Chain A
């Protein structure tokens, strides 16, 4: 690996399957990431259920910056940079609320998204001394709160980008969309229908953001770190069940386990699309037996999931789509468990090369009974986040891998992503995607390929279409 480099791509050797440690610890590269990745990519901001009513707002982050997710009086969702255009003060410092006008406490500049008052969301509506001090010459649109360039509401999930030249969200996702659908659609086979349980788990840990990104992008090899939680037995099915709810004994045939990487930078631990309930005929829901969490009612929850499985089978038989399975990454830093338990998503906000802030949300079916939401909520709390018995051990690995990679000598030695390097094949039924059996490390190689493309490209033309992981 070079000690100096002219391009980020030089830090990623796709043929050898190695990645320089600089990628994880170098603060100059981190600054470039903020500019070249986080200022341009599509980023998850929040869920529409966080701002259900007109004038609701909730704070979020994009990259390392504070943003306001808001729904205006007319019901439209906006995302605004949380910094007054006058002299910088944060205009919103409550976590969430309801407010028709954002007034800066510093000098009183006021901003609105109300379509009856303004042309552009976040436009200035009030400036002290507008007449006598600015002679009405201050341009209220030019000096409004900074808006994201593009925004989508995809089945309730709000994604946005600062870059007006960015491709559409659909083009950015590519066929990864099918896996995002698994996360956001109802388990009974209907489209959409999910909502966020109240509260966001937010915490900081001393590791580079790319460790969790590549973990959820596909790292079935690290499961040995979780041996202690499997011994403890925290799964929603009760004692003796797997921690993530997958049944210990699967009735019916399952497709072969693998990882899929997309040249666009996304990846999943899962299977390519297949006709549901035909060659592979299994249900991924656990048997809910003994109660575990404080409000668990396994009989009611069991009946609900039994009914769900029947509905899912009825609606989706023969439909070509991926399994309700796995973990996933949408480049750069949005990760999720599209599988059942826990059905969550997380954004890993980059604060520095060695510090990351995780924001975790839990999704449930909007019309699930309270007993189901209670059980899922409790499972999530004991599984994920800093009090999560599973995730705690992940963070230990990420923390000390970062720390041990800081040194002068350590940085000379690259990381090894060579597992199954010769066994990657095109993923069937997916555009620009590759598959290899679990465990493997092509999702890591793919992530850093795309990382290099973002850092080395000045325009989207240079990045779209993405370079393929392999030349065939």
Chain B
């Protein structure tokens, strides 16, 4: 019985991209920030909107608007480099001593692959995250939410071109966001 070629291509691509996301999470968990920055395309956009309590039927109200309103993060590669630079000074007190952090990435699915599953150049991924962060003696944060990523194949290396992060919180219940999603 012949196996559908498309299913195999999808299977391989999903496994490949899951591994990419796990390797990315490893870098962040191990504070290898500069290597993490190398996983970002030059035209990266990294956006985390505010979430509102909205009325049924008005779903468009839920997230703050990307090009209009405030957000938690609305970054490019330059500003993410600055954030890393700040942590690397060793005197960014909000992240010094460093947090202990673990990123759990799950529910990873390929939504779209262009131009094809067999030879993808850009892929849209959907996933969920759970970030456990512990600082100093007893500061503990658990943050969960959804991610929409666009990954791009640059010379055989997958890189992140776009990340939309939907944190499942309204009023932020953590003191500071000194880490990456």
A interface, CB within 8 angstroms of B: 93-97, 197-206, 225, 227-229, 231-234, 291-295, 357, 362, 374, 377-378, 380-382, 385-387, 389, 391-393, 395-397, 399
Q: Does B4 contact A (CB under 8 A)?
A: no
- Measured CB to CB, the closest approach of chain B to A386, in angstroms, equals 5
**When chains A and B are docked, how far (Å) is the Cα of A381 from the Cα of B172?**
14
**When chains A and B are docked, how far (Å) is the Cα of A415 from the Cα of B179?**
32
Q: Which residues of A contact B79 (CB under 8 A)?
A: 234, 292-294, 378, 382
Contact between A234 and B82 (Cβ–Cβ < 8 Å)? Answer: yes
Contact between B175 and A399 (Cβ–Cβ < 8 Å)? Answer: yes
Contact between B94 and A97 (Cβ–Cβ < 8 Å)? Answer: no
5 closest A-B pairs by beta carbon, nearest first, are: A199-B70, A198-B69, A392-B94, A203-B172, A294-B76
Stretch at the interface among B31-39, B48-56, B119-127, B151-159: B48-56
B interface, CB within 8 angstroms of A: 45, 48, 50, 52-55, 58, 61, 64-65, 67-76, 78-79, 82-83, 85-86, 89, 91-95, 170-178
**When chains A and B are docked, how far (Å) is the Cα of A200 from the Cα of B170?**
10
**When chains A and B are docked, how far (Å) is the Cα of A140 from the Cα of B47?**
48
Contact between A93 and B53 (Cβ–Cβ < 8 Å)? Answer: yes
**When chains A and B are docked, how far (Å) is the Cα of A293 from the Cα of B177?**
18
Q: Which residues of A contact B54 (CB under 8 A)?
A: 94-95
The residue on B at minimum CB distance from A382 is B79
Contact between A387 and B92 (Cβ–Cβ < 8 Å)? Answer: no
Contact between A229 and B86 (Cβ–Cβ < 8 Å)? Answer: yes
Contact between A386 and B71 (Cβ–Cβ < 8 Å)? Answer: no
Contacts A97-B55, A205-B175 given; does A381 touch B93 at CB 8 Å: no
**Would you give 7 A-B contacts (Cβ < 8 Å), ordered by A?**
A199-B50, A199-B70, A204-B171, A231-B86, A292-B78, A382-B75, A385-B72
Q: Which residues of B contact A228 (CB under 8 A)?
A: 86, 89, 91-93
Contact between A204 and B172 (Cβ–Cβ < 8 Å)? Answer: yes
Known contacts A197-B69, A198-B70, A382-B79; can you find 9 more A-B pairs with CB under 8 A? A202-B170, A203-B172, A232-B85, A293-B78, A382-B75, A389-B86, A393-B93, A395-B175, A396-B93
- Measured CB to CB, the closest approach of chain A to B163, in angstroms, equals 13
Contact between A386 and B52 (Cβ–Cβ < 8 Å)? Answer: no
Q: Which residues of A contact B75 (CB under 8 A)?
A: 294, 382
**When chains A and B are docked, how far (Å) is the Cα of A291 from the Cα of B79?**
10
Contact between B83 and A389 (Cβ–Cβ < 8 Å)? Answer: yes
Contacts A228-B92, A234-B82, A387-B177 given; does A202 touch B172 at CB 8 Å: yes
- Measured CB to CB, the closest approach of chain B to A89, in angstroms, equals 15
**One of B55, B58, B68, B174 near A198 (C-beta < 8 A):** B68
Contact between B70 and A396 (Cβ–Cβ < 8 Å)? Answer: no
**When chains A and B are docked, how far (Å) is the Cα of A198 from the Cα of B63?**
11
Contacts A293-B76, A386-B176 given; does A397 touch B64 at CB 8 Å: no
Contacts A97-B55, A386-B177, A396-B176 given; does A380 touch B89 at CB 8 Å: no
**One of B67, B76, B83 near A374 (C-beta < 8 A):** B67
Q: Which residues of A contact B73 (CB under 8 A)?
A: 381, 387
Contact between A295 and B67 (Cβ–Cβ < 8 Å)? Answer: yes
Contact between A294 and B82 (Cβ–Cβ < 8 Å)? Answer: no
Contact between B85 and A231 (Cβ–Cβ < 8 Å)? Answer: yes
The residue on B at minimum CB distance from A202 is B171
**When chains A and B are docked, how far (Å) is the Cα of A294 from the Cα of B79?**
8
The residue on A at minimum CB distance from B52 is A95
- Measured CB to CB, the closest approach of chain A to B155, in angstroms, equals 24
- Measured CB to CB, the closest approach of chain B to A456, in angstroms, equals 33
**When chains A and B are docked, how far (Å) is the Cα of A459 from the Cα of B173?**
37
The residue on B at minimum CB distance from A362 is B70
Q: Which residues of B contact A201 (CB under 8 A)?
A: 50, 70, 72
**When chains A and B are docked, how far (Å) is the Cα of A233 from the Cα of B50?**
25
- Measured CB to CB, the closest approach of chain B to A44, in angstroms, equals 17
**When chains A and B are docked, how far (Å) is the Cα of A387 from the Cα of B50?**
12
Contact between A294 and B45 (Cβ–Cβ < 8 Å)? Answer: yes
- Measured CB to CB, the closest approach of chain B to A55, in angstroms, equals 14
- Measured CB to CB, the closest approach of chain A to B16, in angstroms, equals 28
**When chains A and B are docked, how far (Å) is the Cα of A204 from the Cα of B58?**
27
**When chains A and B are docked, how far (Å) is the Cα of A206 from the Cα of B175?**
7
Q: Which residues of A contact B92 (CB under 8 A)?
A: 228-229, 389, 392-393
Contacts A234-B82, A357-B171 given; does A199 touch B93 at CB 8 Å: no
Q: Which residues of A contact B85 (CB under 8 A)?
A: 231-232
Residue among A199, A377, A397 with most chain B CB within 10 A: A199
The residue on A at minimum CB distance from B48 is A387
- Measured CB to CB, the closest approach of chain B to A49, in angstroms, equals 12
**When chains A and B are docked, how far (Å) is the Cα of A204 from the Cα of B64?**
19
Contact between B91 and A227 (Cβ–Cβ < 8 Å)? Answer: yes
The residue on B at minimum CB distance from A225 is B93
**One of A292, A386, A389 near B172 (C-beta < 8 A):** A386
- Measured CB to CB, the closest approach of chain A to B86, in angstroms, equals 4
Q: Which residues of A contact B69 (CB under 8 A)?
A: 197-199
Q: Which residues of B contact A385 (CB under 8 A)?
A: 72
Q: Which residues of B contact A233 (CB under 8 A)?
A: 82
The residue on B at minimum CB distance from A359 is B171
Q: Which residues of B contact A387 (CB under 8 A)?
A: 48, 72-73, 176-177
Q: Which residues of A contact B93 (CB under 8 A)?
A: 225, 228, 392-393, 396-397
The residue on A at minimum CB distance from B175 is A205
The residue on B at minimum CB distance from A357 is B171
**When chains A and B are docked, how far (Å) is the Cα of A396 from the Cα of B86?**
15
**When chains A and B are docked, how far (Å) is the Cα of A198 from the Cα of B65?**
8
Q: Which residues of A contact B67 (CB under 8 A)?
A: 295, 374
**When chains A and B are docked, how far (Å) is the Cα of A253 from the Cα of B173?**
45
- Measured CB to CB, the closest approach of chain B to A225, in angstroms, equals 6
**When chains A and B are docked, how far (Å) is the Cα of A462 from the Cα of B177?**
44
- Measured CB to CB, the closest approach of chain B to A375, in angstroms, equals 12
Q: Which residues of B contact A232 (CB under 8 A)?
A: 82-83, 85-86, 89
Contacts A233-B82, A392-B178 given; does A200 touch B70 at CB 8 Å: yes
The residue on A at minimum CB distance from B78 is A292
